[in-house]
Structure 1
Amino acid sequence: MSENIEEAGIRILTEGELIPRVVEKHRRFLEEYRKEFEELESKLNRFEEDTKKMPGSPEPGWQSEKKS
């Protein structure tokens, strides 16, 4: 089987190579998701501010009562 892997040009990484690459990959994913969530949070905050400015909008802190 290792002959097939070598023929295909695939190299098995050692533990010392694999772990830093996995950590870096996850770090990049987390940074990308952090940026996306910051953008979404910013859009949500703008939406909430725009909603507060609309006539007839509910007062800040209003909550509909949940029926049990």
Structure 2
Amino acid sequence: MACFSVAHVLNAYVPLLKATPPRTFDAQDVLVPATPQDVALIAGVVLFILLFEHLLKGERWMYGGSK
């Protein structure tokens, strides 16, 4: 069943990938200035990762601190 679903997805997307023309990247494409939304998204992802790590470590956090 899993093989069928993977094959089904690949059969659906491979023609789309072949149909898109290859793209060339200029320096302008790579060095675009970050918008405030980009900065907020990156900061949110970093804070989420730090919080998640803290919670995963967290006997001290989960059980109310060391006694």
Q: TM-score, normalised by structure 1?
A: 0.37
Greater helix percent: which structure? 2
Structure having the higher Rg: 1
